[in-house]
């Protein structure tokens, strides 16, 4: 059987349609027995396409003798992917034909020419990607809409900017009023992100801009997002202090418009608006919703409440930081009963008021027993060349780093204040800076000493017997180190406890 494969990522005036590709390919088919595979709306950047995957399965089943495409880049725009595809075709003795390029893969010259063409196809793809990226950053610099769903509180509206069609945000009166309510709840009613999320989900009809239930993270992003701020000079100074690259002069921050933040995050574990290093900030075309004063007060409050990333420091279980709810995907934490005798689990989704799938109480000891059995069974199966390192996790070093960050922040504030002080005040400030600098150097010395002294423990075949023999005697921290080295996640549902290992 012959196979005709056609792909079209998007409908464009200058692109050939699926139907036209099929008609061209039929010219190469002499066999009346053929099957057509089409992927519409899928990129050639990868092979994650339903019809393509079906065709490859048919190839491996021995049902296909020839694959015909209109052009090489219809099957793939990645040289690496294409080379792998050709290997599969060769393995199952499948002939490959490009209708427009006329390549014969049965000869070495044909295969060489095929590779050369694919090099240029990939070059074209990468050039297009760079062009799109450059255009994205240029649009951002101009304050234009960068695509995607409008933030909660706004609707998209068509507009003209410098003679070009684009979109801008217009206030959604009902949602904008609720945005103000959320800011008031956080600032004046002293409610946490988690409490606000649960309140919205249980008492109000509003969903997020993506149509989902609210979570603490979603509320945090809304509070942090400068798209809502009526950005003035104070907002400019704050965002710049967060490491952002400011596209506009401070004089453009007139206290009327919101701001766009865009760019690549180096550390995806931090919140999108928490650390703005390597990100760009531009005054947008739309009007802000929240006053500069209120927005900044919320930022200062959020800054004081910043928590370290969950590192599994829970004291109730050696599975801290590894457990996930199998229904909503949120982290699962261990909770003690009031009498402190029984520990059970709770997920973040349930705390936020939208995960009600779990119907029974699951005790922590039951999860630990299952996880322990599976973990020890896994250790028994490790190969002799297995070598994994467990880094020591020093609580003392972490506390010192927190103190160091506070000292560095105090120094920065004092340095900034020097610009507004007279000579006498400046001398006192300089003395304080010198005092803090000495404290900073002492903290660095202590951190370095702890780092140098802390040993790293290796798990290898020689140690497996020790772990199996001494597991019951290990303390929580020792078990936690081993678990976090070998286990990626523990997925919990009412029906089962699934352990996903890293190896």
Output DSSP code: residue 93. T
Are 79 and 118 in contact by the 8 Å Cβ rule? The answer is yes
The residue among 437, 431, 372 whose CA lies nearest residue 410 is 437
Tell me how far apart the alpha carbons of residues 384 and 286 are, in angstroms, rounded to a whole number. Answer: 62
Please give, one letter per residue, the 3-state secondary structure of 344-405: EEEEHHHHCCCCCCCCCCCEHHHHHHHHHHHHHHHHHCCCCCCEEEECCCCHHHHHHHHHHH
Cα 318 from Cα 471, distance rounded (Å): 12
CA 39/CA 270 separation, integer angstroms: 37
One-character DSSP codes across 105-144: TTSHHHHHHHHHHHHHHHHHHHHHHHHHHHHHHHHHHTT-
Nearest to 151 by CA among 63, 255, 224, 246: 224
Among candidate residues 334, 380, 328, the one with its CA nearest the CA of residue 358: 328
Q: 49 near 19, Cβ under 8 Å? A: no
Contact 42, 32 (CB under 8 A): no
How far is 432 from 410, CA to CA, in rounded Å?
10
Give yes or no for a contact between 7 and 75, defined as CB atoms under 8 angstroms apart.
yes
Q: Which among 9, 43, 291, 392 is annotated as catalytic? A: 9
Q: Edge-to-edge strand order for the sheet containing 66-69?
A: 34-40, 2-8, 66-69, 95-98
- 9 in active site: yes
285, containing H or E segment: strand 279-287
DSSP 169: E
Give the containing element (helix H, strand E) for 201.
helix 193-203
* CA 443 – CA 397 distance, rounded (Å): 10
Catalogue the active-site residues: 9
């Amino acid at each position: 059987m012959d196979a005709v494969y056609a792909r079209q990522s998007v409908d464009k005036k200058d692109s050939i349609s699926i139907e036209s590709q099929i008609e061209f390919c039929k010219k190469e088919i002499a066999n009346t027995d053929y099957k057509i595979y089409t992927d519409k709306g899928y990129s050639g950047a990868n092979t994650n396409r339903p019809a393509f995957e079906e065709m490859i399965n048919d190839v491996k089943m021995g049902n296909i003798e020839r694959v015909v495409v209109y052009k090489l880049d219809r099957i793939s725009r990645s040289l690496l992917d294409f080379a792998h595809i050709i290997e599969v075709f060769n393995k199952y003795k499948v002939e490959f034909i490009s209708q427009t390029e006329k390549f014969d893969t049965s000869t070495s010259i044909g295969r060489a020419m095929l590779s050369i063409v694919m090099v240029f196809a990939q070059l074209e793809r990468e050039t297009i990607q760079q062009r799109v990226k450059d255009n994205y950053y240029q649009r951002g610099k101009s304050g234009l809409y960068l695509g995607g769903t409008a933030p909660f509180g706004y609707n998209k509206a068509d507009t003209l900017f410098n003679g070009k069609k684009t979109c801008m945000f217009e206030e959604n009166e009902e949602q904008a009023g609720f945005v103000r309510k959320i800011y008031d709840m956080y600032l004046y009613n002293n409610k946490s992100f988690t409490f606000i999320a649960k309140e919205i989900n249980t008492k109000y009809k509003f969903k997020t801009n993506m149509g989902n239930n609210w979570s603490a993270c979603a509320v945090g992003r809304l509070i942090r997002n400068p798209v809502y701020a009526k950005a003035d000079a104070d907002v400019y100074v704050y965002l710049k202090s967060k490491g952002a690259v400011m596209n506009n002069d401070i004089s453009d921050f007139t206290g009327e418009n919101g701001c766009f933040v865009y760019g690549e995050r180096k550390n995806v574990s931090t919140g999108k608006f928490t650390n703005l290093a390597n990100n760009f900030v531009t005054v947008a075309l739309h009007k802000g919703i929240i006053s500069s004063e209120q927005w900044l007060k919320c930022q200062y409050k959020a800054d004081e409440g910043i928590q370290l990333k969950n590192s599994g420091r829970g004291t109730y279980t050696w599975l801290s930081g590894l457990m996930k709810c199998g229904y909503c995907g949120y982290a699962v934490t261990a909770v003690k009963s009031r009498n402190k005798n029984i520990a059970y689990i709770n997920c973040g989704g349930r705390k936020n008021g939208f995960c009600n799938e779990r119907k029974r109480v699951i005790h922590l000891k039951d999860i630990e027993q299952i996880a322990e059995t599976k973990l020890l069974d896994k250790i028994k199966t490790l190969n002799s060349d297995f070598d994994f390192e467990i880094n020591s996790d020093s609580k003392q070093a972490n506390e010192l780093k927190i103190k160091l960050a506070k000292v560095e922040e105090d120094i920065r504030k004092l340095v900034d204040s020097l610009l507004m002080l007279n000579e006498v005040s400046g001398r006192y400030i300089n003395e304080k800076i010198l005092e803090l600098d000495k404290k900073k150097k002492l903290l660095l010395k202590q951190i370095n000493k702890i780092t140098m002294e802390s040993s790293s423990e290796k798990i290898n075949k020689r140690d497996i017997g020790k772990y199996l023999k001494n597991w019951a005697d290990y303390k929580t921290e020792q078990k936690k180190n081993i678990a976090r080295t070998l286990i990626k996640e523990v997925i919990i549902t009412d029906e089962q406890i699934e352990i996903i290992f890293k190896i």
